[in-house]
Amino acid sequence: MKLLVTGGAGYIGSVVALQLLKAGHEVAVLDNLSKGHEEAVPEGAELVRADLLDAERLAETLAGGYDGVLHFAALSLVGESVEQPERYYRANVVGTLNLLDAMRDAGVPRLVFSSTAAVYGEPDEVPIPETAPTRPTNPYGGAKLAADQLISFHTKAHRLKTTSLRYFNVAGASGALGEDHEPETHLIPLVLSAALGERENIKIFGTDYPTPDGTPVRDYIHVEDLGRAHLLALEAADEAETGEHRVYNLGNGSGFSVREVIEAACEVTGRSIQAVEAPRRTGDPAMLVASSRKIREELGWKPEKPSLEAMISDAWDWMQKYPRGYDE
């Protein structure tokens, strides 16, 4: 298939772009490079440097004729979204609307969208099924939920075949592709940079949550396992009804607390990591663990690297190999 990957210069998008190329697809990456890295765009993929808010450029690009779009491009920092909700709704909702407009006009039938566990907010039950109420606790989750709803209605009205994958916490690396955010706010890369001695310590944001050790619990998924789900979703569109928007949660179904992640990182790296207790971070739910039963049953997805140690170890290898990320 000829596929457009928005955000394909970012952490997850670049891994998926490479997996698509390896599976024999033709891939173009559309990225404004505000967060992504040109070096992360896999060899063999064409790079279109454009912003989703530039509707004209999008229309021109999509007019090139595509069989499908994988839509990763987004702003994704929970804390920042609390400070600047309007920016998050513009990028993540208006950007998605522009993309859908351009897809409709160009007759592109398939879409796989990067949604998030943040749409659920503070869940009533864990593991969280797709049928759980959606009550986002921050603008990032709110904007992604609005985009999910927009995709649903658009899919029905314009007879598309679409899938939203609701990611839980993505970690690990894939060969030369890894996590390099500026600023970095994610737990695992920050813990590892403390292990490398690049920062003095790791702050634990909140120790008074209603969880076994008082620190928030998350479901970590390896970026390669997450990537494979996109290929399955794309293939499944062949058998799907037109007008169908599918939603799948993507995690491993087991939760690890912030303290457990730090302990695992000490073991994997063999280094001591100083942890400092700090106040809660605004917008953080206590516990997010996925039920991935639906995607396992319907698409046959199965994680190959479900262990936290494997994710931390792959991220650690990547950081040691590329201590300055893509800057080198």
Which positions lie near ligand UFG, rule CB under 6 A?
76, 78, 116-118, 168-169, 185-187, 190, 202-205, 216, 218, 258, 281, 284, 288
For the bound state, the minimum distance from the C-beta of residue 306 to ligand UFG, rounded and expressed in Å, comes to 16
Q: Is 140 a catalytic residue?
A: yes
Longest Cα–Cα distance of the chain, Å, equals 56
**In the complex with ligand UFG, which residue's Cβ is closer, 42 or 251?**
251
Distance of CA 252 to the CA centre of its chain: 14
| Secondary element (H or E) of residue 85 | helix 85-89
**Which residue is associated with the tokens 């050790």?**
213
Both tokens of 191, joined, read 């813990």
**Which residue is associated with the tokens 């987004």?**
74
- 140, 167, 209, 220: the active-site residue: 140
Q: How far apart are CA 273 and CA 145, in angstroms?
A: 36
**In the complex with ligand UFG, which residue's Cβ is closer, 51 or 80?**
80
For the bound state, the minimum distance from the C-beta of residue 258 to ligand UFG, rounded and expressed in Å, comes to 4
**In the complex with ligand UFG, which residue's Cβ is closer, 11 or 301?**
11
Q: Determine the 3-state secondary structure of 156 from DSSP.
A: helix
Is the Cα dihedral 287, 293, 298, 299 positive or negative? positive
Nearest Cα residue to 58 out of 48, 67, 68: 48
Q: Determine the 3-state secondary structure of 71 from DSSP.
A: strand
For the bound state, the minimum distance from the C-beta of residue 243 to ligand UFG, rounded and expressed in Å, comes to 28
**In the complex with ligand UFG, which residue's Cβ is closer, 78 or 229?**
78
| Secondary element (H or E) of residue 61 | helix 55-62
For the bound state, the minimum distance from the C-beta of residue 157 to ligand UFG, rounded and expressed in Å, comes to 27
Query: Helices marked H in 209-307 — which ranges?
Result: 223-236, 258-269, 293-299
For the bound state, the minimum distance from the C-beta of residue 53 to ligand UFG, rounded and expressed in Å, comes to 20
**In the complex with ligand UFG, which residue's Cβ is closer, 28 or 190?**
190
Rg of the chain's alpha carbons, rounded to an integer?
19
Q: Do the beta carbons of residue 148 and residue 122 sit within 8 Å?
A: no
- Give me the active site residues, please: 140
